[in-house]
Each structure stands twice: as structure tokens, then as C-alpha cells.
């Protein structure tokens, strides 16, 4: 008798053991090379569709419990299974996980359409939304409203012909984002800079040289190999004294996904075409209008106004910073030429050292990774009375992953995963990942399982992982997201943790970066890894004095990305004939340095083409306004003020999407946010509210 592979896989499938009080068996999932995902998703889809069928055939009057809550729970296992898949797709994307990405995305898109395009189901949801039948509190109404809007925004009101077209669009889109990620990962991994002449290493930090040496040994090569992983790329172009080598690295990084078999330009054009068609089909002018309807900003016009307001304040300031740098280069090096993009970080670091007598590499010994982890735990304890206990029995997807139990006093809060070093199977960058959402799951209110995934400088055989100040800030940033997930205290998972408006989600993360520059914080953990000496006070003062170095240029860089994203999603795609030409046109006013040929930001812009930030990249700056304003409150009362921390936890971290984010912010702050707080933070405004300088 022929073996039934499907049933055989189900019998052994670790993904069928999604129990509220058990961690995910990542170890077995990886050992079985991800072959369990598609069978598990099929299995859970059958369960979900059966539950939805029960909702539809129920002859009782539709109410919150028998319709809205029943739908919320219908595909709870399917949702969790897909969350596990995308954790691995980003963090441990072995070949078999990568291979099924189009199938998983297509499967989920079709399932979503099967629900949202079901007219009979929407009729029941619509009845509960309009009559409020069985709705007993504001959170139940918020969930009902969210589900009703999701139906409306995903085609429930379309006729059958348009529903069919929407399905086709979503099916194709579901495969394009994974393709973009695959191209970017492959093109990143395909490049290496092989150096055999020790003279070419001049200026490079010792830990980077050691990493490159180990890279070469793994490849059975002499000398040193440098890759485009961020912990190698950034210090290389910041410290390498050889301009031609800096240029080589810069051009390689900026041409990822540009040309060859991993060319993302056709992927981008097709994504834009389909997003635009989808928005039109649903009654919106463009994708940005569709996306921003459910954001604090509300409209593309408001986003442009916001970006323009910041642009007016910072453009001249950034130009002045660039001119001052070029003037100093001429004075110091007798070098008079137009500064190239691969030169900027190199000379800016030297100028910063000249102005403030501070070298990023001098700071590394004070930031061994283990100390920094202790530091974020101590900050969490002082602010929110949290404690962390390492677990060694939780199955993980890679040996480098660490897991902690989190407690608030004696109350269990959740599981916290750390995965901090680069691998070829991991996407670049840093992110917080939700493995299990807090809230109702299998009739229990479960605590969350969240993780932080980063690409930090790896330890070598001679020294531990030593972080740069920027890497420390990144860890605090992602920890803020993790706290948002961990401290969630809602009833329904769809409203939990980070499931908030996209321009609100960065508030908890970005505000955490502020603690890094404070002496009270650094005294908790910043110690020299060899001498155990605390970071000297004079270094802390230098950090504080230098924190606004080239703030105008940093601002303009973020505005550059924000404008590019906005115009991609408000422009008729038929007018975008060439991705590179379009990018150059849109970024012209925010560009400070000459643009070389054969480079492109867009082909590596995974935030908007493979992440959730399409028409939303502005949200980083939007949330920076919120966090700058919020941290001013902490500064007024003390950075570890229990009064302010309790209010931030109560109104921001615990509430998820149970209320409008602006109302939550006003409840925390006592007023609306002040947009000028961000400019004050970076000292771009003087005490009279005018442009500084």
C-alpha cells in the first residue's frame, strides 16, 4: 500500500503541538528542515474553515460571542503556525524554508481572501457592528470595529468580478515580497572583498580584522575576507584608509539587488503596479491613501506636510554641516574635492574625533554584549520591576539563541528569545519578532513569547562580542519593541502588543534609545571587559556632547527614505519607467553627495518592498516626535521615575490597539505631542524656537 506522506507527516508534526503553556519546538522543526509547515497549515485551515462554517450556519441572531469572537478564534492555530514560519524565514532561512516561501505566502493570501470575500460571513459581522449586539465593553467594540474594517478594506463590498481580480492580485503579491527578500539575501551573500595585503588593513579596528581573518579561514583562503553584513560593512567604510576599497564596499552594498539573476527592479515595478491596482479596486486613489487610512497620519497629504515641515528646518542645517566638514578636510588634509558618499563616514568619524575627542572604537571595550544585556535587564527592573531568568531547556532553532523567562515581581510575563549574531541564513538588520501573541488562545489568556533578532559583532577567539554605541542603541531599540509585546495586557490577540498603528509602533522602541546616553544608565553596565573599570565620566560627557553631531545630515537621510517611499506609493506606476531614474529624481532635493552610476537604494529597501512599511517609512520620524516629547516628560521627573514609567506602561505598553493611539498618548502625557520636541532634542531649534546656528 502506498505510504500517505501527508498523514505520516501529521503524525510526527511538531507544529501540531501548539499548546498555550508550551514553547514552540523550534529544534525539531529545523531538524525536520521545515517540511512540516505546509501539512500543518493545511490541517489548521481545515479546522478554521469548519469553525467558520459553524458561524455561518448558526441560526441564532448574530452577536459578539457567536460571530466576532468565534471568527477571532477560528484560525488561531493557523495564525500561530504562520508566525513560527516567518520567524524562521527571517532568522534561520535554511534552503528548505526559503524554497516554500512562495507557497506559504500564497496559501495565507488565499486563506485571507476566503474569509474577507465571504459575503455571507460579512453580513453577520456587519450586523453585529451596526447593532452592537452582545458587545459589553470598549475592547469588544474595538475588536468588532477592527474586524469590520478589515472586511471592508479587503474587498467584502466588491462585486464578484472585482473579488476575483482582487484574489489574483493578492496571489501574485504574496509571492513577490519573498522574492524581493530572496534576491536581496542572495546578492548580499554573493559578495566578498578578499584582501591579502596587510597594508590594505590600515585604520581598521582589530576586532574587524579578526572577524575577516576567521571569514577567510572558513572559506579556505589566505588573508582576510570582508562581507556586506552590517557589523563588517559599517566599520569598514568608516575606518578603512584606502579610498578605493571603501568605494568598492560602498558600491557593492548600494548595488545589492541591482542586475543579474537577483535583480529586484522588475520585482519592485510589479509590486507597485499591483498595489496601485488593488487600491484602485477598493476605491482609493493610490496605495498610500489606502494604507494611511489606518494610521495616525490619516492621509498622504498629512505625511507630505509632516516631511516638508522637517525638511524646511533641516536642509540648510545639513548643508552647513557638510560644508563645515569639507572645509575641515581641506584644512587638515589639504584635500579639496567634492565629498563622495564612500568618503562621508570615514571623514565624519575623524572630524567627530577632532571636535569631541571621542572614537567609537574606544567605546567598544566598555560594551561587551553580556554587560549590555545585563544593562537592559536592569533598566527594565528599575522602570517596570521586571526580572529575567535564563532557561536552558527551551528548544531553539540555532545554538546561538538564548531564552529567558520574564517576571513582574512574582507574576510570569512571558518568554524572551535573543538571537544576536549574523549568519548567512539570517536577514540583515535588527527586529523584534512575535512568536506567540498575548491574549486569548484556546480559551486561555496566554502570555507572549517574543524575540529580538540582530546582526551584531560576533565574538572572536581572542575577545568577546564588543558592541559599538550604535549597536547598544539598536539593542535598546528592539528591547523597547519587546517590552511592548511582553507587557501587553489585553483580552484579544488581534489587539495585543505591537498590533497598533504603524506610526505608533515605534514609540516604545525609539524612546528606549534615550536611556543609553544617560550617566545613570551607563553606570549600571558600561564596564571595560578586561579591567572592569566603569566607563569614565569624561567619556559619558563626550558621548552627550557628540550625540547631535551631524543631526541635520542624519535627519535628511531619513527624510530621503521617507519621501522615496511616499512618492513610490502616490505615483501612478505607469509613469515609473525606470526604478533608478525615478529614485534619482525623487531624492534629488534630499541628496547631499554625488550619486554614482549603478547604485540604487530601492533594490535593497526591504522595509517597503518586503516588510510592513510601505507608505509608512515616515513613521520612524513620526514616532520620534512622540518619543522625544515623551522622554522630555521622563527628564522632567527623572529618567527612572516610577510615576512616569507606570503611566507609560499603563497607557502605552499594556494597551495594545484597544484604544485610539492619540487618545492613549494624551492620557499618558496630558496633552497632544509637540512636534518641535524632536527638533529641540537634536538642538536644531534654539530657545526662541528658531533654526539653530
Whose CA is closest to 24, among 36, 16, 33? 16
Question: How long a stretch of residues is the chain?
Answer: 693
Give the three cell numbers for residue 53: 462554517
CB 189 within 8 A of CB 252: no
88, 122, 381, 450 from 434: Cα distances, Å? 12, 28, 22, 5
**Could you tell me which residues come within 8 angstroms of residue 59 by beta carbon, excluding any fewer than 6 positions away?**
none
CA distance 549 to 627: 20
**Cβ contact 230:261 at 8 Å:** no
Integer-rounded Cα Rg, in Å, for the chain is: 26
Active site residue 478: yes
- As given in the structure block, the three cell numbers for residue 337 are 574635492
Q: Which residues contact 527 (CB under 8 A, 6 or more apart)?
A: 366, 368, 371, 533, 534, 535
Q: Three cell numbers at 309?
A: 515641515
Q: What H or E segment, with its residue span, contains residue 49?
A: helix 37-57
The gap from C-alpha 577 to its chain's centroid, in whole angstroms, comes to 30
Q: Which of 267, 191, 282, 289 is nearest to 233 (CA)?
A: 191
* Catalytic option among 478, 506, 518, 654: 478
Task: Classify 75 as helix, strand or coil.
Answer: coil
CA–CA gap between residue 534 and residue 525 (Å, rounded): 8
Look-up: residue for cell 499603563?
A: 650
Cβ burial of 391 (10 Å; 0-12, 13-18, 19+) is middle
Distance of CA 258 to the CA centre of its chain: 23
CA-based nearest residue to 619, from 509, 502, 528: 502
Distance CA 129, CA 144 (A): 6
Residue 479 C-alpha cell reads as 528591547
Cα gap 649→668, rounded to integer Å = 9
- Following DSSP, what letter does each residue of 98-167 receive, concatenated? HHTHHHHHHHHHHHHHHHHT-HHHHHHHHHHHHH-TT--SHHHHHHHHHHHHHHHHTTTTS-HHHHHHHH
Give the helix, strand, coil percentages of the chain, each rounded to 5: 60, 5, 30
Residues with a known catalytic role:
478
Amino acid at each position: 500500500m502506498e505510504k500517505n506522506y501527508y498523514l505520516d507527516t501529521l503524525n510526527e508534526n511538531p507544529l501540531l503541538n501548539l499548546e498555550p503553556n508550551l514553547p514552540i519546538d523550534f529544534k525539531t522543526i529545523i531538524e525536520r528542515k521545515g517540511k512540516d509547515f505546509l501539512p500543518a497549515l493545511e490541517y489548521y485551515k481545515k479546522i478554521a474553515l469548519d469553525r467558520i462554517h459553524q458561524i455561518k450556519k448558526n441560526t441564532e441572531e448574530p452577536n459578539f460571542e457567536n460571530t466576532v469572537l468565534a471568527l477571532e478564534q477560528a484560525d488561531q492555530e493557523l495564525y500561530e503556525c504562520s508566525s513560527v514560519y516567518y520567524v524562521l524565514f527571517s532568522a534561520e532561512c535554511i534552503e528548505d524554508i526559503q524554497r516554500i516561501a512562495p507557497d506559504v505566502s500564497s496559501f495565507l493570501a488565499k486563506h485571507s481572501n476566503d474569509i474577507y470575500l465571504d459575503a455571507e460571513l460579512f453580513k453577520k459581522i456587519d450586523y453585529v457592528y451596526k447593532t452592537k449586539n452582545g458587545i459589553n465593553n470598549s475592547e469588544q467594540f474595538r475588536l468588532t470595529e477592527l474586524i469590520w474594517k478589515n472586511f471592508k478594506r479587503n474587498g467584502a463590498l466588491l462585486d464578484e468580478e472585482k473579488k476575483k481580480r482582487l484574489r489574483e492580485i493578492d496571489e501574485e503579491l504574496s509571492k513577490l515580497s519573498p522574492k524581493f527578500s530572496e534576491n536581496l539575501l542572495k546578492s548580499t551573500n554573493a559578495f566578498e572583498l578578499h584582501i591579502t595585503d596587510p597594508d590594505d588593513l590600515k585604520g581598521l579596528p582589530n576586532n574587524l580584522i579578526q572577524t575577516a581573518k576567521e571569514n577567510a579561514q572558513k572559506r579556505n583562503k589566505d588573508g582576510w575576507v570582508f562581507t556586506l553584513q552590517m557589523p563588517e560593512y559599517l566599520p569598514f567604510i568608516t575606518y578603512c584608509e584606502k579610498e578605493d576599497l571603501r568605494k568598492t564596499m560602498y558600491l557593492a552594498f548600494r548595488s545589492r539587488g541591482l542586475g543579474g539573476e537577483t535583480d529586484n527592479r522588475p520585482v519592485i515595478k510589479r509590486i507597485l503596479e499591483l498595489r496601485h491596482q488593488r487600491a484602485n479596486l477598493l476605491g482609493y486613489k493610490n496605495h498610500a491613501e489606502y494604507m494611511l487610512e489606518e494610521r495616525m497620519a490619516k492621509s498622504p497629504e498629512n505625511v507630505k506636510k509632516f516631511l516638508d515641515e522637517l525638511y524646511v528646518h533641516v536642509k540648510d542645517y545639513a548643508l552647513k554641516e557638510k560644508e563645515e566638514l569639507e572645509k575641515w578636510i581641506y584644512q587638515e588634509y589639504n584635500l579639496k574635492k567634492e565629498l563622495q558618499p564612500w568618503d562621508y563616514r570615514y571623514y565624519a568619524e575623524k572630524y567627530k574625533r577632532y571636535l569631541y575627542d571621542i572614537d567609537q572604537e574606544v567605546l567598544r571595550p566598555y560594551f561587551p554584549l553580556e554587560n549590555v544585556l545585563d544593562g537592559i535587564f536592569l533598566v527594565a527592573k528599575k522602570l517596570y520591576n521586571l526580572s529575567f531568568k535564563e532557561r536552558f531547556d527551551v528548544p531553539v532553532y540555532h545554538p546561538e539563541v538564548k531564552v529567558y523567562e520574564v517576571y513582574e515581581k512574582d507574576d510570569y510575563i512571558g518568554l524572551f528569545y535573543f538571537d544576536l549574531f549574523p549568519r548567512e541564513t539570517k536577514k540583515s538588520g535588527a527586529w523584534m519578532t512575535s512568536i506567540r501573541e498575548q491574549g486569548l488562545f484556546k480559551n486561555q489568556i496566554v502570555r507572549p513569547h517574543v524575540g529580538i533578532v540582530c546582526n551584531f559583532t560576533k565574538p572572536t577567539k581572542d575577545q568577546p562580542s564588543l558592541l559599538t554605541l550604535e549597536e547598544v542603541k539598536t539593542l535598546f531599540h528592539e528591547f523597547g519593541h519587546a517590552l511592548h509585546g511582553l507587557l501587553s495586557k489585553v483580552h484579544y490577540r488581534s489587539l495585543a502588543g505591537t498590533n497598533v498603528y504603524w506610526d505608533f509602533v515605534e514609540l516604545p522602541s525609539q524612546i528606549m534609545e534615550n536611556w543609553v546616553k544617560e550617566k545613570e544608565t551607563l553606570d549600571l553596565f558600561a564596564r571595560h571587559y578586561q579591567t572592569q573599570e566603569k566607563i569614565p565620566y569624561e567619556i559619558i560627557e563626550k558621548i552627550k556632547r557628540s550625540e547631535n553631531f551631524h543631526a541635520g545630515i542624519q535627519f535628511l537621510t531619513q527624510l530621503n527614505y521617507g519621501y522615496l517611499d511616499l512618492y513610490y506609493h502616490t505615483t501612478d506606476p505607469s509613469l515609473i519607467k525606470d526604478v533608478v531614474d525615478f529614485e534619482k529624481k525623487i531624492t534629488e532635493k534630499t541628496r547631499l553627495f554625488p550619486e554614482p552610476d549603478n547604485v540604487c537604494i530601492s533594490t535593497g529597501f526591504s522595509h517597503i518592498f518586503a516588510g510592513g512599511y510601505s507608505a509608512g517609512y515616515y513613521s520612524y520620524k513620526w514616532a520620534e516626535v512622540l518619543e522625544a516629547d515623551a522622554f522630555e516628560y521622563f527628564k522632567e521627573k527623572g529618567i527612572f521615575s516610577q510615576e512616569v514609567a507606570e503611566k507609560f506602561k499603563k497607557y502605552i505598553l499594556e494597551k495594545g490597539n484597544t484604544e485610539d493611539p492619540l487618545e492613549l498618548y494624551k492620557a499618558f502625557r496630558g496633552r497632544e505631542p509637540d512636534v518641535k520636541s524632536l527638533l529641540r532634542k537634536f538642538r536644531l531649534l534654539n530657545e526662541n524656537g528658531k533654526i539653530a546656528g
